[in-house]
Amino acid sequence: MKRFFLNALLLTTLMITAIIPAGAKDSKTDSIKAIISGKAVTIQSITDADGNVMVSCDDPEVKELFKSYDAEISWNPEKKSAGIKAGANEAKILPSAQEIQWGDNSITLSAPPKIVRGKLYIPLDSIQKFIEARIVFDDEKKVYYIDPLIKNIELKGEKGNYRLIITASNKIKPQCFALREPDRFVVDIPDSILVIKEREIENQELSTIRFSQNKTKPNMVRIVIPQSNSAEVESLPANTPNEISFSIRLPNIYPLAQNFETQKITGLAVEKGRNGIKIKLRASGPFQYEWHRLKSPDNRLFIDIPQGMLVAAERKFTLDDPYIAEVRVAQFQKEPMGIVRLVLQLNEPAECSINSSSTAPDQLEIEIHHKTIDPSVAEYRGNGATAFPSKGKVICIDPGHGGSDCGALNKSMGLYEKYITLDIAKKLAAMLIKDGWNVVLTRDTDVDVAYPGASAKEELGARVKIANNLNADLFISIHCNASLSYSSQGTSTHWYKSKDRLFASDVQDSLISCIGRSDRGIAQNRFYVLAHSRMPAILIETAFISNPEEGKLLSTPEFRQKLAEAIYGGLKTYVARNGKSKTVFKLTNRSRRR
């Protein structure tokens, strides 16, 4: 009887062992908690005798994880194997097969796969061998973080116009904000792992852009862009879901008006009102200024005064106001030209107005209203002057093209339109200043007026805004013509508005009589700078840079001087004919973007 009982017990044990799948008897079935790119999930798992955590290939969350990385994992119960595909690579996973062929490489899993209750389990930590993710275990919270990799951070561009590109192995959602003292723009990327070795980008203009694994468990990468030079940082549309990028631009600060003298900034006053804050900036004489509003989350507004020198040390006002936190003024730059900067630290995109004082020509008044603006329709850059040194006469000169836009080109002679128009503009400006005019140039060096890479509308709009903001009376755009036919030659002047026509006629007559080129006449054309300028405006095609004879003439300083004198002669005729006491002349540079 005793022997029978022992045999029966042995038989029962063998039967139980036979119905338990291989590997299950030394594994504990369970589930784990994971946070995948910020989303909390539960995954079927086992823990083998060696403590390896393994997950089911057929688990919905595992499948979704692979899918989010453009990969696929599938379980075939009939063949008792799993398949993994990612890009051009694919692999077949079999029970107990720890070596896996993955493309041209062999991968060793941290533990052999196991079949438990009819499903194949693979080591959790081996998943990151097939997809570009990193798995981090938080022993305290007992949770696994599975996050994409930040694979590359790259800065492209030059001359104050840059693009910072961050590339990840999966979708990322940045969080941006501004920090002060020192000023910096911060990009936090939650649920991500930094895997590149380099931790900073050194740039002479921007200083050092730094990035780091700011947090773990949960993971977060931080990128810090310095703004001590008032760099404008703006989020750009992504080329791919796995990429984010930011434009970083440094403002071009140079004196638009040519005959202003250096002024001392003598006073700053801040007054609280019922509906906002009023700021008064006083100087020793009339001055020009350029303002920039930075986009959210920065919300700073700063006003630069070229040819400005601060008498006292930096001043700062801390305000108890819901719309503006701080006002400060400092000497932003001493050499090669003095620049004083007034910074308004706004708490949000508040409505602002900037005006010259109606009673004091040497004072600028800025009002911060207790009202927000719609960022989609707001202006973010402008210029102005408290008053001009010479009363009643303002001339704004804008040479065609410049910077990234060279305009028309004569390769055989090495002629660029942008240099020719700039030289004509400067020669004309010198004559006008000597004659007592207030002269404004949209550019006095080889630069873009808006920014490098701007669209034609943005670039031409920036030129027109200068003339409109300064209430110019006349606008002249100077260009060189070009044609596929080398025989094309002559001079023409273009107009659009009815009040432009007489101005165009007088300047064209003067040009033809002075420079002796063939008369192509005046023509009505809806060029952007003519259609959007509020004052009488013309666009001059001085000569054909593509014509061998006229190209040779344009290459000489003497002919360019003749052109400047002819334009000025036509301007004087027009002013005398109209009997205007106030004349504003703007010479626009047209960049093949008419």
Mean pLDDT by 10 residues, the chain (594 residues): 45 37 54 95 93 94 96 93 93 92 91 92 95 95 97 92 95 93 93 94 93 96 91 88 93 85 94 90 94 88 94 88 94 90 93 89 94 84 89 84 94 96 96 88 91 89 92 92 95 97 96 96 97 94 97 97 97 83 36 39
* Best CATH choice for the domain 394-589 from the list 3.50.40.10, 3.40.50.300, 3.40.630.40, 3.30.870.10: 3.40.630.40
Bridge partners (DSSP) of residue 188 are 175, 222
Q: What is the pLDDT of residue 26?
A: 53
Query: To which CATH superfamily is domain 24-131 assigned?
Result: Copper amine oxidase-like, N-terminal domain (3.30.457.10)
3-state secondary structure of 553: helix
H or E stretch covering 57:
none
The residue extents of the domains of the chain are 24-131, 149-249, 263-385, 394-589
Q: What is the pLDDT of residue 435?
A: 87
User: For residues 309 and 287, what is the distance between their CA atoms, to the nearest angstrom?
Assistant: 11
- CATH architecture of the region 149-249: Sandwich (2.60)
For residue 500, what is the DSSP state? G
How far are the Cα atoms of 307, 329, 339, 385 from residue 260, in angstroms, in the given order?
A: 8, 21, 13, 10
User: For residues 552 and 548, what is the distance between their CA atoms, to the nearest angstrom?
Assistant: 6
For residue 451, what is the DSSP state? -
Strand 324-333 relative to strand 193-194, pairing: unpaired
Domains 149-249 and 263-385 share a fold: yes
User: For residues 184 and 224, what is the distance between their CA atoms, to the nearest angstrom?
Assistant: 7
Q: What is the pLDDT of residue 25?
A: 47
Domain range 263-385, CATH class = mainly beta
User: For residues 216 and 201, what is the distance between their CA atoms, to the nearest angstrom?
Assistant: 23
